[in-house]
Amino acid sequence: MSANFLVRIRAALLAILLTAAFVVPAQAGPFEDAVAKFANDDFSDTDEAIGAVATSGNPLAFPIISALQDGRLSADPDTKKVFVTGSDGKIIDAATGAAVDKLPDGAAAVRLNNRLRRTVEAALGGLTLLSPDPAKRIAAAQSVFKSHEENALAVIDGALAKETNKGAKAAFTEARAAILLYKADATEVEKLEAVAIVKAKGDQEAMALLTGLGSDVPPNVARAAASAIASIQSNLAMWSMVQNAWYGLSLGSVLLLAAIGLAITFGVMGVINMAHGEMVMLGAYTTFVVQEVIRTRYPGLFDYSLLIAVPLAFLVAGAIGVLIERGIIRFLYGRPLETLLATWGLSLVLQQAVRTMFGPTNREVGNPSWMSGAFELGQITITYNRLWILCFTLAVFVILLAMLRYTALGLEMRAVTQNRRMAASMGIATSRVDALTFGLGSGIAGIAGVALSQIDNVSPNLGQSYIIDSFMVVVFGGVGNLWGTLVGAFTLGIANKFLEPVAGAVLGKIAILVLIILFIQKRPRGLFALKGRAVEA
Amino acid sequence: MLTQLTHDITTMSRRRWLAATAGLVLGLATFSNAKAADDTIKVGVLHSLSGTMAISETTLKDTVLFLIDEQNKKGGVLGKKLEAVVVDPASNWPLFAEKARELITKDKVSVVFGCWTSVSRKSVLPVFKELNSILFYPVQYEGEESERNVFYTGAAPNQQAIPAVDYLMKDEKVKRWVLAGTDYVYPRTTNKILEAYLKSKGVKQEDIMINYTPFGHSDWQTIVADIKKFGSAGKKTAVVSTINGDANVPFYKELGNQGIKATDIPVVAFSVGEEELAGIDTKPLLGHLAAWNYFQSIKDPGNEKFIKAWQAYTKNPKRVTNDPMEAHVIGFEMWVKAVEKVKSTDADKVIDALPGIEAKNLTGGTSKMLPNHHITKPVFIGEIKANGQFDVVWKTPGLVAGDAWSKELEGSKDLIGDWVGKKCGNYNTKTNKCGGQGS
């Protein structure tokens, strides 16, 4: 009896223990507790949860943290349940990993602020250090370099030992150096080595790391760091010259693009076209319309939207240009003052028309993936959109030049502008050529609008900001000479960008204007003055 | 040259002149066609509908029309219907003064809701003083002003800029500051106040970088690279942006392209709201900040009701709301309450009645008109979300009273505006005299 009783008691205890062993962790283990904190919608709770989940070693840690970063982690504040929506749309319960059919109604994405985003980045860096993808390992090592979190040291040492990829190995070495540099109990020798490694990295991040070093380091290390900072600085100063030159080229290409159409209408035809900027704006709005149609009907084509927009913008702006020439400007040839007033009025009409049609607010024109982002060249950042615009501008310039030189229309245009009466008596329909020339200039302005929509506001005021600059470029380069426009645009761009860091954007612009005025005093016909009879005509 | 010019003009075909004049007359006629009935109270709307500022001000015109519409549905004011008189000052500052005069003397409006830029406000001030009328000004501005005829429903610097800097200092532990702005009076004064404030908090001169750019600046490469360089000094850096509306899109695009993320160098903006973000792809801007007294995303029954009614009125389910709109909502309600209180639209009576009037704001609080003609407002810091809206990450515990005169600046810290007790906009509390040193 008593033995039986004991056995029973033992069995019962065992059962309790067993259930405890199975049930308790599933309901209230530290990992599950931490995950539930995401549901509190409180930034400091979320912070604790990230730390606890990242160090838990649980296989769900990586999916949870990366979902948090992408806004795919949602929580139900009522039941305190947290869900991960995979990038494939599958939903799992974050605490258990069990699949869930759909999110509950009350669930909302877990909110982050900047401080938490930094924590998430650092945590993800720690979690992806051992990722099989070398690119991910490099990114992780770089984020450790920035955060120089001591906990990551052991993982990095382990990873470094078996790392075979050269880039990843370098990134790991740098991350390790960053940690040692800030580790309180690292030896002086280790720290000196670390300074050397960071110095070799030599970019702005390295400098930030070294300048952030407090005063509580051994004097030898402080001295090494100071000399490393000085050498990085002088290196960066040299690169900043290269950078200014690049920015100048890029600004020059934008100026050229905006001015090239004007070089035809004003430079070649002599029409002061104040509505030129509005042609640029029409091109930008054409891009907007094209993108809208693509977004609603053919989302797959989005990356090609600009390629489609270019010919359309040319046609739209060109057609409107021909209409303007036929309707207004042809009655005003030889009367520059009236042309100026008429086209200025026209520019206001066009602006207000667009404002009525599309509304006064900015319109969103997206950047295709190949135009977003940047790459590093040495110590300078080159953004893809600027690079593409530079290439595009040069292409437009070359095509235009070839057109003027090699096609029949180009020949007729040159003939008419050089000597209208002679050309007419040779059988050229001069008024038709006038219309086409004006259309060509306007069409090119439209193309410029496509490119400018990538870097500027698409609003009814877009054109206004370019009209003065365009005239400046054409006048400076020499009226009637495409090469002059090219050289003028790049000169102004580069001069502006070398002045800007010294004088500031506002003074820089004023200085450029003053310089141009002085230059025009000396050479009224611009850089590349036309010679010969055409000048007197 | 001059004779040539007049000659050109006189030879211009007479017929064309006639046609132009006819068109002008026709346009004017349709404009002033609004019938002048005595049984209505007229409300002037002085917002640019063309030119550079149309981008921001058109929405405010629609807002006032919407508010008038709603009020008329409720039966109007004092048993009379409200009637809007809309004029277009075309982003042209002298024209603002002309149009204001026209509204007050010709159309005999009882109140005007209008202006955006500080220069337009300064340009209409003498008109409102001379003709003794009322202007409600809905935009955040640089302060240093308190006029009897103007009611400032937008934020003063201590209701936007200072709390934003406090937030960055405390929550983001920012140690280095870039003050970037467009080169005109609002950014210059705000940055002066901020610089004084930062220095009073122990920030050194070398940790402050101030940068101004022209209106509509579109080439931000150099400045963004400079900010990046300034931010790599090993101290947490933030940008405080007073960059004017239009230049923001290229600025943010460049930030995104050069890979400056909000986690590295956050940008807190004072002129970027829901309307401005509508023109940008906001994914690269995730986490950058804005400081306002209202965000569309704020969960409040009053706000949700307002958004719904606004979207129905504009027949656009995606139409966004923003901070200056809320300022008009508050200002309009205050005016209606003041008129009903004194049972008259007489300017003197309404001006005296307005201080102390309270109106519900759209974020769940009650704003009050203060004796200095500014109002109390809550301050919110929002982070940009991927959908172009803001996520509120911080707010002031209560409402902040607007200071007409900044406490941070030497010239203005002793001044107060008090139109109730002292009847003075720039009363010097040290010398106890009205007309102390002003702007």
Task: Note whether A372 contacts B257, CB cutoff 8 Å.
Answer: yes
Q: What is the pLDDT of residue A449?
A: 95
- A390 falls in which pLDDT band (50, 70, 90)? very high
A243, A455, A506 ranked by CB distance to B250: nearest: A455
CA distance A450 to A462: 12
What ipTM, to 2 d.p.? Answer: 0.77
Query: Chain B closest CA to A466's CA: distance in Å?
Result: 10
Q: Is B390 helix (H, G, I), strand (E, B) or coil?
A: strand
Q: What is the average pLDDT score of chain A? A: 85
pLDDT value of residue B335: 97
Residue A126 has pLDDT above 90, yes or no: no
pLDDT reported for residue B27: 44
The answer to whether residue A502 neighbours chain B at the CB level (below 8 Å) is: no
Residue B38, pLDDT score? 66
Fill in the amino acid letter for A345.
Answer: G
Whether A345 and chain B come into contact, CB under 8 Å, resolves to: no
- pLDDT value at A2 more than 80: no
In sequence order, which residues have a C-beta less than 8 Å from that of residue B432 and are 6 or more positions away? none
* Yes or no, beta carbons of A500 and B222 under 8 Å apart: yes
Q: Is B181 on the interface with A (CB under 8 A)?
A: no
Amino acid A145: pLDDT: 85
Chain A partners within 8 Å of B249 (Cβ): 362, 456-457
**Higher local confidence (pLDDT), A126 or A473:** A473
**Per the CB < 8 Å rule, is B228 touching A205?**
no
- The more confidently predicted of residues A443 and A416 is A443
User: If contacts are CB pairs under 8 Å, which of residues 247-266 in chain A contact chain B?
Assistant: 247, 250-251, 254
Question: Alpha-carbon distance A424 to A409, whole Å?
Answer: 14
Q: Tens of pLDDT along A269-279? A: 888 899 999 99
Q: Please give the span between the terminal C-alpha atoms of chain A, in angstroms, as a whole number.
A: 130
**What pLDDT was estimated at residue B434?**
86
Q: What stretch of H or E contains B424?
A: strand B424-428
What is the structure's pLDDT at B263?
Answer: 87
The per-residue pLDDT for range A153-197, each reduced to its tens digit, is 888 888 888 888 888 888 888 888 888 888 878 888 888 888 888
Distance CA(B49)–CA(B65), nearest Å, equals: 14
- Tell me, what's the pLDDT at B5? 40
Query: Is residue B55 within 8 angstroms of chain A, CB to CB?
Result: yes
Q: Which residues from B are below 8 Å from A118, CB to CB? A: 263
Gap from A277 CA to chain B (nearest CA, Å)? 14
Q: At what angle do helices A430-452 and A276-297 cross, to 10 degrees?
A: 60
Query: Cβ contacts of residue B209 below 8 Å, gap of 6+?
Result: B176, B177, B178, B179, B226, B227, B230
C-beta of residue A128 within 8 angstroms of C-beta of residue A155: no
Q: Tell me the three state secondary structure of residue B366.
A: strand
Q: Are A519 and A469 in contact (CB under 8 A)?
A: no
Q: Which segments of B88-213 are extended strands (E)?
A: 111-114, 135-137, 150-152, 176-182, 208-213
Residue A40, pLDDT > 50, answer yes
SS3 readout for B57-95: HHHHHHHHHHHHHHHHHCCCECCEEEEEEEECCCCCHHH
Whole-number Å distance between alpha carbons of A2 and A513: 108
List the structure tokens of B49: 């509908």
Helices (DSSP H) in A56-187: which residue ranges? Answer: 61-69, 114-128, 134-147, 152-162, 166-182
B63 interaction partners in chain A (CB closer than 8 Å): none
Q: At what angle do helices B161-171 and B185-200 cross, to 10 degrees?
A: 40
Distance CA B192, CA B144 (A): 12
Q: What's the pLDDT score for residue A375?
A: 87
**Residue A168: its pLDDT value, please?**
86
More confident of the two residues A115 and B62: B62
The predicted structure's pLDDT at residue B276: 80
Q: Is A140 within 8 Å of A122 (Cβ atoms)?
A: no
Q: What is the CA radius of gyration of chain A?
A: 33
3-state secondary structure of B378: coil
Geometric angle at alpha carbon A335, from A333 and A341, rounded to 5°: 105
> Nearest chain B Cα to A355, which residue?
B50
Chain B residue numbers touching A337 (CB-CB < 8 A): 5, 8
Tell me: the pLDDT tens digits for A289-307? 999 999 999 888 888 999 9
The residue type found at B340 is E
Q: Over 60: is that where the pLDDT of A439 sits?
A: yes
Written as six digits, the tokens of B392 are: 């509120």
Residue A408: CB atoms within 10 A of its CB come to: 8
**B52 contacts A337? CB cut-off 8 A:** no
Q: How far is CA B82 from CA A195, A406, B29, B48, B104, in A?
A: 73, 68, 22, 21, 16
Write out chain B's pLDDT in tens, 439 residues. Answer: 333 444 444 444 444 444 444 444 444 444 444 444 568 999 999 999 988 788 889 999 999 999 999 999 999 999 999 999 999 998 899 999 999 999 999 999 999 999 998 889 999 999 999 999 999 999 999 999 999 999 999 999 999 999 999 999 998 899 999 999 998 889 999 999 999 999 999 999 999 999 999 888 888 999 998 998 898 877 889 999 999 867 888 898 888 888 888 888 999 999 888 888 876 778 878 889 999 999 999 999 999 999 999 999 999 898 899 999 999 999 999 999 999 999 999 999 999 999 999 999 999 999 999 999 999 999 999 999 888 899 999 999 899 999 999 998 888 888 999 999 888 988 988 888 887 544 4
Q: Are strands B40-46 and B81-87 parallel, antiparallel or unpaired?
A: parallel
Portion 365-384 of A in contact with B at CB < 8 A: 366-367, 372-374, 381, 383-384
Element at A325 (helix H, strand E): helix A305-327
Most A CBs within 10 A among B13, B206, B232, hence the mutation to make, goes to B232
Task: Note whether A384 contacts B228, CB cutoff 8 Å.
Answer: no
* pLDDT at residue B327 in the model: 96
Question: Which chain B positions have a beta carbon within 8 Å of A214's beta carbon?
Answer: none
